[in-house]
Amino acid sequence: MQKQAKNLQSSKDISIKIPLTKLVTLLVVLGFITLLVSHSQFTHLTHLRVWATREVPIAFWAWQTTNPSQKDVQKAISATKAKDLFIHAGQIDYVLANGRLRRIRQADGILPNSIALHLTYNATVDLLRNLEKVTPKQLADIITQCYQEDVRRVNETAATVVGIQLDIDFPTRLLPKYMELLGLLRSQLPINTKISITGLPTWINSPKLKETLAKVDFWIPQCYGTEIPKQLTRLSPISSLEQVNQAIETSRNLGYPFYAGLSAYGYAIRFNKNGNFVQIRGDIDPAEIITNTSLELVERQLFTAKSSNLSANEWCYLYKVREDLVIDGLNLKAGESIMLDLPTSEALRANIQVVRETAGEQLLGICIFRLPTEGNPTNLTIAEISDAIKDINSSIATEVNLLSMSKGKTTELQLTMKNTGSANPLMGDDSFNIDLEVPIGRITSLYLGNAVVAKPLCGALNGVTEKSQLTPCSLQRANVIRFAAKYLRPGEELKVVIEILGEVPSRITSILSINLDNGRTWQEKRNLLVRKG
């Protein structure tokens, strides 16, 4: 028994020594593996592909009720090398009376033929409210029917349709229904049809999102429009650097091909007397608001940003309604407020930089909402968008002309100011200024439009680097008149007429000053030649 006990003890001693040796070896191996994994993860993060400015493909959304002209599309192609256009082809509506589905608001006009088209269909409010009553097959059938009809019409033109996109804001809980709809569409459409969807920020944390994305060729997460401000006390921008960064990082980690959807548009929001949301409009010319004397500008500032790059944000303009009025069909009551959210090239530029640096290999390109078109003043111009894509500052260029015409004892001096650059000035009385030397006591009258304010000044017209010595005075004593344009967007011009007693000199000294929407001020002194008319 003692021997057995001794042998047992010896065996215990041996059994303890051997696992300890193995344990040390195992710990060394595990530590090495951990280092490898950590290094691999670090290498992946530090070697995440950063896209060069010229590498990222560009696409646009066109969302107006009339198809964009060939001219507008060609300008976008020339400026950005865009190859794809997601064009609104109509809305799917739910008829409350009988529960049937139909297509409404089909865009009018000829489709452009120099770019690959993706026909995009969205849903009306009535359909979104009744999605649970509609089967995926009903939706698939009506969408397929609309798409086939549109493709047949397109085939009679020189345009090219390559795909279909759904912009249907399914609630997150109904993503399985969306998956079924997309599966049916895949079986009903030609095999070479590219199918894509837009993505809501609220879907990001859903476990069903990956399964939904597996049904399409690619998707476009919308990195903007997370919420529309419902109260004056809680204003928020259409887009922000933080919002874009979060959306792109999440999209990259999902591992499915995507375009980054970025915004280049603005809108106007009407609030009632209590500061509550009433109405939103995305088609009102900001100039209609800034030049209306029944509206008072009470606040102009960049939206608050967590980023240190404050200029990379949108501008907020808040107006108080002094009296009842109507602006382009928007009914405003005295005491109400209207807020303008205007985009900037600097903000788009910063957002594009975030995409280039964080999107990784799954990025297919950047899709910009919306395509700039003639007569759409709420959007960034194609020149501003092009500068943002190229990661360069917007160009500052102005054209100022003086034309004199003799009217007997008086001379009519016509001043024309034009913004020929891509840089956008702020809105307000100090937007685009020109100080013009004039003969003292000989100004008989001024003819101004609603967009220009004239300020008579006395003193020395110094160089742009010197402190101004001009002070307000009467028109009779003034030797300088400051013409302040309330808003002069790129490509626009303004004219004023100065009636002067007697003749005018052949050259007149002036100082131009522009307060830009990137927060900087540009100035230049010029000796203007007076042409005779």
Q: Which of 156, 257, 145 is nearest to 210 (CA)?
A: 257
Cis status of the peptide bond prior to 349, with omega within 30 of 0: no
Contact between residue 518 and residue 346 where contact means Cβ atoms under 8 Å apart: yes
Contact between residue 336 and residue 277 where contact means Cβ atoms under 8 Å apart: no
Q: How many CA atoms lie within 13 A of 349 on its CB side?
A: 19
Percentages (nearest 5) of helix, strand, coil residues in the chain: 30, 35, 35
33-49 mean pLDDT: 51
How far is C-alpha 209 from the chain's CA centre?
26
Say if residue 43's pLDDT is above 80. Answer: no
Q: Model confidence over 481-526: pLDDT tens digits?
A: 999 999 899 989 999 999 999 999 999 999 999 999 988 999 999 9
Q: What CA–CA distance (Å, rounded) separates 219 from 165?
A: 9
Contact between residue 452 and residue 485 where contact means Cβ atoms under 8 Å apart: yes
Phi and psi dihedrals of 40, rounded to 5? -60, -45
Q: What CA–CA distance (Å, rounded) separates 339 from 321?
A: 11
Q: Model confidence over 220-231: pLDDT tens digits?
A: 999 999 889 999
Q: What CA–CA distance (Å, rounded) separates 346 from 311?
A: 7
Average pLDDT, the chain: 89
| CB atoms near residue 49 (< 10 Å) | 14
All residues at 6 or more sequence positions from 468 whose CB lies less than 8 Å from its CB, including other chains: 459, 462
Question: Cα–Cα distances in Å, from 336 out to 204, 271, 355?
Answer: 37, 6, 38
382-398 mean pLDDT: 95
Strand residue runs (E) in 64-199: 84-94, 101-104, 116-123, 160-167, 194-199
Phi and psi dihedrals of 397, rounded to 5? -150, 135
pLDDT at position 11 is 36
pLDDT at position 39 is 41
1-30 mean pLDDT: 42
Q: Which of 261, 187, 176, 272 is nearest to 225 (CA)?
A: 261
All residues at 6 or more sequence positions from 206 whose CB lies less than 8 Å from its CB, including other chains: 172, 175
| CB atoms near residue 428 (< 10 Å) | 16
pLDDT at position 522 is 94
Say if residue 23's pLDDT is above 50. Answer: no
Contact between residue 193 and residue 199 where contact means Cβ atoms under 8 Å apart: no
All residues at 6 or more sequence positions from 447 whose CB lies less than 8 Å from its CB, including other chains: 496, 497, 498, 499
**Per the structure block, which two tokens stand in for 221?**
């997460």
Q: What CA–CA distance (Å, rounded) separates 350 from 244?
A: 10
